[in-house]
């Protein structure tokens, strides 16, 4: 059962030795919080703290999951610089034509 927006509910969580808390299940459900989401603790003028959930960016969560294009063999730094220089020179030659 989810608490209605018109009622006040109190849930408790214990602060760990690392100063961490577990958000109670009912609160996670109400907020729609899932693993990977960010939780903002907003301290208000009434000395109350409000929790807000920022959903993880689905696109950014894919970063690093796709293999690089082209040849995926590791390259030495000097080889990378040489390849980049050759590509720049090739583009300049094409633009000059």
Q: Which residues contact 74 (CB under 8 A, 6 or more apart)?
A: none
Rounded alpha-carbon distances, angstroms, from residue 91 to 75, 79, 96: 22, 18, 9
Q: For 21-49, what is each residue's pLDDT tens digit? A: 999 999 999 989 999 899 999 998 889 98
Q: Is the pLDDT of residue 5 over 70?
A: no
pLDDT band at 61 (very low <50, low <70, confident <90, very high): low
Structure tokens at 51: 């929790």
Where do the structural domains in the chain lie, given as residue ranges? 1-59
pLDDT given for residue 85 in this prediction: 92
Q: Which option is the CATH number for 1-59: 3.90.1170.50, 3.30.1540.20, 2.102.10.10, 2.10.260.10?
A: 2.10.260.10
Q: What is the mean pLDDT of residues 65-79?
A: 73
Structure tokens at 7: 């009622």
What b-and-e string marks burial along 7-25, b requiring 16 or more CB atoms within 10 Å of the CB?
eeeeeeeeeeeeeeeeeee
State pTM to two decimals: 0.49
């Amino acid at each position: 059962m989810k608490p209605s927006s018109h009622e006040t509910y109190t849930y408790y969580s214990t602060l760990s030795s690392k100063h961490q808390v577990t958000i109670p299940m009912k609160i996670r459900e109400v907020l729609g919080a899932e693993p990977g989401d960010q939780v903002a603790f907003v301290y208000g003028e009434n000395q109350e703290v409000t929790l807000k959930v920022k959903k993880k960016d689905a696109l950014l969560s894919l970063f690093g999951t796709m293999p690089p294009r082209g040849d995926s063999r590791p390259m030495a730094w000097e080889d990378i610089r040489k390849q980049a220089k050759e590509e720049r020179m090739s583009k300049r030659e094409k633009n000059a034509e």
